[in-house]
Amino acid sequence: MREAARDSDKDVRRAAVLALGSVADADDDATMDTLVRVLYRDKDDACQHVAAIAIGRIGHDRGESALKHAYTKGNRVMQPFAAIGLGLYSRHEGKARASALILRELKDRANADLRASLAIAVGLSGNQNGAPVLREIAADRGNPALRGHAAIAIGLLGDGALGAPILRKMLVDVKSPDVQREVALGLGMLGDREAVKLLIGLVEDGGSVYVQGSAAMALGRIGGAEAGAALLGLLRDENRPDVARAMAGVGLGLVLDRSEGKRLASIGADPNWYLFTPTVHELLTIL
């Protein structure tokens, strides 16, 4: 795979880098050399981007400096990927200090698109010091897309006690389907049982298949008798739209899945993002 990362075909290089990020160990110096070379020198932007993600995933000791350099010196297209890489990197044991940069940048930056990536990076990092910042962004009536990313990040951090009430309020107040979808996923990650009735309403009539699917996924992750009964009732009700019934079936699968959705999520964990098959694309619209 390291040899394939030098292939003349950019699609082959990209796939090889993604694979290396999935299988390499933190002490694999040769793979780290390969990924750093791609990060700094590859002529294809997408190859550089996935190299940042791969470096974050393997957690090599040289990863922090490489990713910080890519973030601080990279262009506006590279920065979001380097930030996500830093978030993933800081999850490794003994690497938590890498999260300091992304949290500081989340506080200080003005660009909403970059802040959205930084919010997800903070959520991935597990740095609980970022929770107040994420809650502030989610509660603010500013950029809807940024608020949606903050909702996902709150779910990733597991900030249930203080974060869940903010997300429930967003689910009622914000009518954007894209934001509702993100908030539903955040609530699902938090396992917030107080959101069950709100989520049932979105599965029944969420306005779009994406909102309905996210609400069903959230109910499935939350689980419990009330969520299961509601989803089963929707599935059986032939007067409901077919899409709503289909999404209820997805949610029921999660209620019954003792791996908490890991089987389904694993499908989307390591694909070549630029070469989706129709089946993978369909699954990811549910995820």
Q: Is residue 147 part of a domain?
A: no
Task: State yes or no: pLDDT of 133 exceeds 60.
Answer: yes
Q: Is residue 15 part of a domain?
A: yes
Number of C-beta neighbours around residue 285 at 10 A: 11
Task: Tell me the whole-structure pTM to 2 decimals.
Answer: 0.87
What pLDDT shows up at residue 214?
A: 84
Give the residue numbers spanning the domain of 90: 1-106
Q: Return the DSSP state at 62.
A: T
Q: Is residue 1 part of a domain?
A: yes
Q: How many structural domains compose the chain?
A: 1
Task: State yes or no: pLDDT of 287 exceeds 60.
Answer: no
Q: Is residue 69 part of a domain?
A: yes
Q: Is residue 118 part of a domain?
A: no
Phi/psi of residue 211, nearest 5 degrees: -65, -45
- The confidence band for 282, taking pLDDT boundaries of 50, 70 and 90, is low
What pLDDT shows up at residue 209?
A: 77
CA–CA gap between residue 9 and residue 3 (Å, rounded): 12
What pLDDT shows up at residue 261?
A: 62
Q: Is residue 238 part of a domain?
A: no
How high does pLDDT run on average in the chain? Answer: 90
Q: Which CATH number belongs to the domain containing residue 66 in this structure?
A: 1.25.10.10
Q: Is residue 95 part of a domain?
A: yes
Q: Is residue 219 part of a domain?
A: no
Q: Give the rounded distance of the alpha carbon of 18 from its chain centre.
A: 16
CA–CA gap between residue 105 and residue 55 (Å, rounded): 20
- The confidence band for 177, taking pLDDT boundaries of 50, 70 and 90, is confident
Classify each residue of 130-155 as buried b or exposed e, where b means 16 or more C-beta atoms within 10 Å of its C-beta.
bbebbbebbbeeeebbbbbbbbbbbb
CA–CA gap between residue 86 and residue 119 (Å, rounded): 12
